[in-house]
Chain A
Amino acid sequence: MSPDEFLPTLKTRFPEVEFQLDPLNPRALKMSASGVPEVFAWLRDAPEAAMEFLEFSTAVDHPPDRLELVYSLYSYTHRHRLVLKVDLPRHAPTIPTLAHLWQNADWNEREIYDLFGVFFSGHPDLRRLMMPEDWEGHPLRKDYSHPNLTPRPD
């Protein structure tokens, strides 16, 4: 199934969650943060979706106010992929964790927490993954600054 085939099913199943097609990425759906664990749980378990594989989850920083989470799901059963994108407020991004659905969401979310400062509520062990534990700031944010970080000359 492609995202536009998923869209009506998801809209009827989860009326309270907003879904829309992403103009930038033909394989992606945009959704509101309110549906996060439920929609994913359904996508994993429903036989017509059967997304047993969380390829990765990451974030993209869009200053000044938006931080976008990207989840890429893949189904080996149906050989289809769905990218789900969730917008979060950039100043206090919080979202429920997916670590209970896919084990590898655990580290992916730790990495996002580390590099983007997204807080995952309900995560079993939310610590920095890449940077030292006492590091300040979240390096992959666009406005991150560090004395050693200078723009590359053109």
Chain B
Amino acid sequence: MMRQFPANPDLTVEEFELNMGPQHPSTHGVLRLVLTMDGERVVRCKPVVGYLHRSIEKMAENRTYTQVIPVTDRLDYCTSMTSNYVYVMAVEDLADITAPPRAQYIRVIMSELNRIASHLLWYGTFALEVGATTPFIYGFRDREKVLDLFESTCGARLLYNYLRIGGVSRDLPEDFCERMLAFLDEWEPLIREYEALLDENPIFYNRTKKVGILSPEAALTYGVSGPNLRASGMARDVRREEPYAVYPDLEFDIPVRTEGDVFARYRVRMEELRQSARILRQCAEKLPKGPFLEPQPLRLVLPEGETYVHLESPRGDIGCHLVSKGTDKPYRCKFRTPSFCHIEVFEHLVRDCLIPDIMAICASFDVVLPETDR
């Protein structure tokens, strides 16, 4: 679109298209943003997804119920535990299986550890997007220690395939709780260090305050959930709204900010790190003895029916809609993923922003592309 430059009619201003991604240093994974720019200002933004579409939902229809679990790992590689969990929860709901209490606690421990790992990864990459390099290394350094805990439990550091229908695949190692508590003791004071790197810096403050403000109404209509919704002033958390597993027995707070800007989303996640640590300490104390798995037949056949379950993943409200036709394979397995909704918001939020704001906003939403594309 050409328009005339107000001060000098001989000059015309032309908007141009900037294709950001799918290969770009800061569109985590392969997000593509088609931007219409007026100089540095964004006029329109169209997110394009689908570059990572692996048809996980189609694959699930071809596998037995147990065989789907490793596929769900790939749904969101930053929090494989929660993607495992939501699928297993759906199958258990439909088959009317209850995991033993110890398994329930182990699942919560794993979810919360995974939340820590995911938020640390987010902290690093988010800081990197606003141009601070050092927090990236800090976040990754401590995430390694969480991954060490996972490795000692299930042998994998990224794609765990740990949860099973009716429990978990193996028990925790004997000294797991001691090592986890040692890690928490060592790591919790470091949250202060993360905050010191960013919070007290006026540049960071200017970059994030009042940038990308998402109102609660817009957040709801776009289906935003999780920390991003809580940063917009809505105290909504599946762990509180529809408690699952052993969350009703645990004490924790839901951090909420009302500003809805990038800074609020950052603060909410930093507080969630503390709350996760709090939950983990309680779990270590309450962890019951007993079986960790209620063994299921290899070819589990589910009764006809359908269900929808959801839980709180580090990114938000992840759900699984499972339809069974009374066979050993899911008839339809739909995953409702938080990032799918969060990417759509960019269209609305980055209008009239500058290029650096796009980066700050995109990073603050913590989108993970494999989860979007499935």
CB–CB under 8 A between A and B in the complex?
yes
Chain A residues in the interface with B (C-beta under 8 A):
24-25, 27-28, 52-56, 58, 60-61, 70, 72, 76, 79, 81, 83, 102-104, 106-107, 115, 128-132, 139-140, 151-152
Are B57 and A104 interface neighbours, CB within 8 A? no
Are B336 and A139 interface neighbours, CB within 8 A? no
How many residues of chain B get a CB closer than 8 Å to chain A's CBs? 37
Q: How far is the CB of B316 from chain A (nearest CB, A)?
A: 11
With A60-B332, A104-B341, A131-B53 known as contacts, the answer to whether A24 contacts B305 (CB < 8 A) is: yes
Chain B 171-196 interface mask (CB, 8 Å, partner A; 1/0): 00000000000000000000000000
Main secondary structure of the interface of B (DSSP, over half): mixed
With A25-B307, A76-B236 known as contacts, the answer to whether A140 contacts B57 (CB < 8 A) is: yes
| B340 beta carbon closer than 8 Å to chain A | yes
Q: Which residue of B lies closest to A150 (CB)?
A: B62
User: B222 touches which one: A76, A79, A104, A152 (CB < 8 A)?
Assistant: A104
Are A103 and B49 interface neighbours, CB within 8 A? no
User: A24 touches which one: B62, B306, B341, B348 (CB < 8 A)?
Assistant: B306
Are A106 and B344 interface neighbours, CB within 8 A? yes
Are A104 and B223 interface neighbours, CB within 8 A? yes
Complex contacts, A54 vs chain B, CB 8 Å: 223
Are A130 and B50 interface neighbours, CB within 8 A? yes
Chain B 346-369 interface mask (CB, 8 Å, partner A; 1/0): 001000000000000000000000
User: A60 touches which one: B308, B323, B344, B374 (CB < 8 A)?
Assistant: B323
Q: How many CB-defined contacts (below 8 Å) exist between A and B?
A: 82
Are B49 and A129 interface neighbours, CB within 8 A? yes
Q: How far is the CB of A133 from chain B (nearest CB, A)?
A: 10
| B200 beta carbon closer than 8 Å to chain A | no
With A72-B321, A76-B236 known as contacts, the answer to whether A25 contacts B305 (CB < 8 A) is: yes
Are A56 and B304 interface neighbours, CB within 8 A? no
CA distance A54 to B242 in the complex (A): 17
Q: Which residue of A lies closest to B342 (CB)?
A: A104
| B334 beta carbon closer than 8 Å to chain A | yes
Chain B residues in the interface with A (C-beta under 8 A):
49-50, 53, 55, 57-58, 62-63, 218, 220-223, 234, 236, 241-242, 304-308, 310, 317, 319, 321, 323, 331-332, 334, 336, 340-341, 344, 348, 373-374
CA distance A130 to B373 in the complex (A): 7
Complex contacts, A106 vs chain B, CB 8 Å: 344
CA distance A115 to B61 in the complex (A): 14
The list of the 7 closest CB pairs from A to B, nearest first, reads A104-B223, A56-B336, A130-B53, A130-B50, A58-B334, A103-B221, A152-B62
Are A52 and B319 interface neighbours, CB within 8 A? no
Are A130 and B49 interface neighbours, CB within 8 A? yes
With A55-B319, A140-B57 known as contacts, the answer to whether A27 contacts B308 (CB < 8 A) is: yes
CA distance A81 to B334 in the complex (A): 17
14 contacts between A and B (CB under 8 A): A25-B307, A27-B308, A55-B310, A56-B336, A58-B321, A61-B332, A76-B220, A76-B236, A81-B308, A102-B221, A103-B222, A104-B341, A128-B50, A130-B53
Complex contacts, B344 vs chain A, CB 8 Å: 103-104, 106-107
Complex contacts, B234 vs chain A, CB 8 Å: 76
Are B58 and A102 interface neighbours, CB within 8 A? no
Complex contacts, A104 vs chain B, CB 8 Å: 221-223, 341, 344
Are B308 and A83 interface neighbours, CB within 8 A? yes
CA distance A110 to B241 in the complex (A): 29
Are A79 and B55 interface neighbours, CB within 8 A? no
With A55-B317, A58-B321 known as contacts, the answer to whether A151 contacts B348 (CB < 8 A) is: no
Complex contacts, B308 vs chain A, CB 8 Å: 27, 55, 72, 81, 83
Complex contacts, B310 vs chain A, CB 8 Å: 55
Task: Apart from A130-B50, A140-B55, list 12 A-B contacts with CB within 8 A.
Answer: A24-B304, A24-B306, A25-B305, A52-B220, A53-B220, A55-B317, A56-B223, A56-B336, A72-B319, A103-B223, A106-B344, A152-B63
